[in-house]
Amino acid sequence: MSDRFKIGLLLFPALSIIVVLFFGGLLVGLMRSFNYMPVIGLTQPDLSAYVSVFTDKEFYLSFLLTFHIAFTSTVISCILAVAAALLLRRQFIGRAVVNFLFQLNLTVPHLVGAIGILYLFSQSGSFARLAAEWGMIAGPSDFPALVFDPYAIGIILQYVWKEVPFIGVIVLANMQSIGEDYESVARSLGASRWQAFRHVLLPLIFPGMLSASVMVFAFTFGAYEIPAILGANYPAALPVLAYRHYTDVDLAARPEAMAMAIIIALLSAVMIYFYVRFSRQRVRS
Residues 204-223 that bind other proteins (CB under 8 A): 207-208, 210-212, 214-215, 218-219, 221-223
Contact 70, 217 (CB under 8 A): yes
DSSP track, 49-96? HHHHHHT-HHHHHHHHHHHHHHHHHHHHHHHHHHHHHHHHTS--TTHH
Nearer to other proteins, 3 or 282 (CB): 3
Contact residue for other proteins among 153, 169, 196, 201 (CB under 8 A): 169
10 binds other proteins (CB under 8 A): yes
Number of chain residues interacting with other proteins (CB under 8 A): 123
**At its nearest, how many Å lie between other proteins and the CB of residue 52?**
14
Which residues between 16 and 45 bind other proteins (CB under 8 A)?
17-19, 21-30, 32, 39-40
176 binds other proteins (CB under 8 A): yes
251 binds other proteins (CB under 8 A): yes
Nearer to other proteins, 6 or 198 (CB): 6
**At its nearest, how many Å lie between other proteins and the CB of residue 53?**
14
Amino acid sitting at position 253:
A
Q: How far is CA 182 from CA 20, 51, 199, in A?
A: 46, 56, 10
Contact 74, 213 (CB under 8 A): yes
CA-angle at 101, arms to 99 and 106, nearest 5°? 105
Which residues between 220 and 249 bind other proteins (CB under 8 A)?
221-225, 229, 231-235, 239, 242-243, 246-249
Q: How far apart are the first and last CA of the chain?
A: 46
Instruction: Name the nearest CA neighbour of 89 among 13, 171, 12.
Output: 171
Q: Report DSSP state, residue 142.
A: G
Contact residue for other proteins among 35, 62, 77, 123 (CB under 8 A): 123
Contact residue for other proteins among 36, 67, 71, 148 (CB under 8 A): 148
CA-angle at 17, arms to 13 and 20, nearest 5°? 130
Contact residue for other proteins among 51, 79, 124, 252 (CB under 8 A): 124
Contact residue for other proteins among 2, 4, 44, 285 (CB under 8 A): 4
What CA–CA distance (Å, rounded) separates 62 from 224?
13
Which residues between 63 and 122 bind other proteins (CB under 8 A)?
84, 87, 89-90, 92-95, 97-113, 115-117, 119-120, 122
14 binds other proteins (CB under 8 A): yes
Q: Which range touches other proteins (CB under 8 A), out of 6-14, 45-53, 184-192, 195-203?
A: 6-14
Nearer to other proteins, 70 or 186 (CB): 70
Q: Name the phi and psi angles at 219, rounded to 5.
A: -65, -45
Contact residue for other proteins among 1, 5, 13, 44 (CB under 8 A): 13
Alpha-carbon torsion, ordered 235, 237, 243, 245, to 10 deg: 30
**At its nearest, how many Å lie between other proteins and the CB of residue 116?**
3
Strand, coil or helix: what is 175? helix
How far, in whole angstroms, is CA 6 from its chain's centroid?
A: 36
